[in-house]
């Protein structure tokens, strides 16, 4: 909703359907059998989301295979592909880094094939800016108020620092590889 029209679940479904048409049941299985497990496989979430996307004309039902079994597969429309590309192209904000890192990684995961290599590099570069900015903010919080933290409060805070530092390292390595990939294309 926040980012221009659809929920994260809806974009995730839309992205998966970019790879191949699939039914609600297929998509649910994908959520349980892959590290996309951050989404629930609840039918009460997925089927209504598919219908919302269909009503919006971002998805269309494709010809059902003629096995006896009931089954409705979906594929993105051209409007759906455009909306998805717009979603991928959004600049990562500081707020995304703090609250929705997993959504940023979902977007990154979908970029190969759906966005040109330079866009991946630009995305990672923007990520680096926001990430190091946020880390600096955490450090200065620690300097200013660290003395007041309780023992376990400090541990929890340091967990955050460890996590973000790891992502900075990951970013350094990923940027090198993404720039190499860009040159190759």
Partner DNA sequence: GCTAACATGTAATCCGTTACATGATTAT
Partner DNA sequence: ATAATCATGTAACGGATTACATGTTAGC
What does 71 bind: DNA, its own copies, none (CB cut-off 5 to 8 Å by kind)?
DNA
DSSP 8-state symbol, 147: G
- Residue 139 site contact among DNA, its own copies, none (CB < 5 to 8 Å, cut-off depends on kind): none
Cβ at position 47, least distance to DNA in Å: 5
| Site map (CB under 8 A) of its own copies, residues 129-158, x = contact | ---------x--x---x----xxxx-xxxx
Going across the sheet that includes 22-23, the strands are: 22-23, 73-76, 59-62
C-beta of 60 vs 105, nearer to its own copies: 105
> What tokens does 160 get?
């955050």
Residues 6+ apart with CB under 8 A from 74: 17, 21, 22, 23, 50, 53, 54, 59, 60, 61, 62
Give the Cα separation of 106 and 110 in Å (integer): 6
Span interacting with DNA, options 39-47, 103-111, 113-121, 156-164, rule CB under 7 A: 39-47
**Considering CB under 8 A, how many residues would be counted as binding its own copies?**
39
Shortest CB 103 distance to its own copies, Å: 11
**Tokens 């620092």 — which residue?**
161
Please tell me whether residue 6 binds DNA under the rule CB under 7 A.
Answer: yes
Start-to-end CA distance of the chain, whole Å, equals: 34
Using CA atoms, how far residue 48 sits from 44, 54, 76, 100, 174, in Å, is 7, 10, 16, 23, 36
Task: By CB under 7 A, tell whether 152 contacts DNA.
Answer: no
Contact flag: residue 35 with its own copies (CB under 8 A): yes
Please choose which of its own copies, DNA, none residue 160 contacts, taking the beta carbon within 5 to 8 angstroms, the exact cut-off set by kind. Answer: its own copies
Chain residues binding DNA by CB under 7 A are 1-2, 6-10, 23-26, 28-29, 40, 42-45, 47-52, 67-73
């Amino acid at each position: 909703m926040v980012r221009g029209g659809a929920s994260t679940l809806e974009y995730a479904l839309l992205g998966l359907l970019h790879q191949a048409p699939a039914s609600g049941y297929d998509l649910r299985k994908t959520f349980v059998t892959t590290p996309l497990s951050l989404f629930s496989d609840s039918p009460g979430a997925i089927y209504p989301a598919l219908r919302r996307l269909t009503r919006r004309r971002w998805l269309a039902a494709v010809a059902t295979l003629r096995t006896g079994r009931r089954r409705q597969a979906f594929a993105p429309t051209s409007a759906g592909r455009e909306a998805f590309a717009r979603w991928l192209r959004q600049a990562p904000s500081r707020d995304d880094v703090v609250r929705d890192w997993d959504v940023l990684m979902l977007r990154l995961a979908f970029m190969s094939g759906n966005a040109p290599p330079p866009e991946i590099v630009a995305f990672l570069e923007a990520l680096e800016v926001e990430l190091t900015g946020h880390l600096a903010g955490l450090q200065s919080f620690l300097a200013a108020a660290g003395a007041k933290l309780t023992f376990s409060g400090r541990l929890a805070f340091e967990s955050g620092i460890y996590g973000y530092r790891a992502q900075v390292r990951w970013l350094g390595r990923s940027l090198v590889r993404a720039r190499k990939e860009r040159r190759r294309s």
